Amino acid sequence: MIKQNVGGVDKWIKIILGIILILIGYIKMSLVWGIIGLIIFLSGVAGRCLLYSLLGFSTCKKCGTTKGHNKTNKAEIKENTEK
């Protein structure tokens, strides 16, 4: 199971972008845009992104490790390498 790695503004951007792409897919009768929109929308709603997981990236501050918010991670890594 993928840990939660989408949070904050990123989560809302994914939800809104997903809805927009689903609507574009519906208007243009494009299954591809609809599926892409659905994947992005569900990623935002669930708070989990497979691509972020594969890249080791996270925008969720309260979920533990985060790149982009990794001041604590750098300190932890420094402590672990000094031991």
Q: What is the C-alpha to C-alpha distance for residues 20 and 56, in angstroms, rounded to an integer?
A: 27
* CA distance to 9, 40, 82, 83, per residue, from 14 (Å): 9, 6, 39, 40
The per-residue pLDDT for range 25-77, each reduced to its tens digit, is 999 999 999 999 999 999 999 999 888 888 888 888 877 655 554 444 555 54
Query: Tokens standing for 37?
Result: 């929109």
Q: What is the count of structural domains for the chain?
A: 1
In a domain, 21, yes or no: yes
In a domain, 73, yes or no: yes
Q: Residue 52 sits in which domain range?
A: 8-82
In a domain, 1, yes or no: no
68: left (phi over 0), alpha (psi -120 to 50) or beta: left
The pLDDT, as a whole number, for residue 68 is 52
pTM of the prediction? 0.70
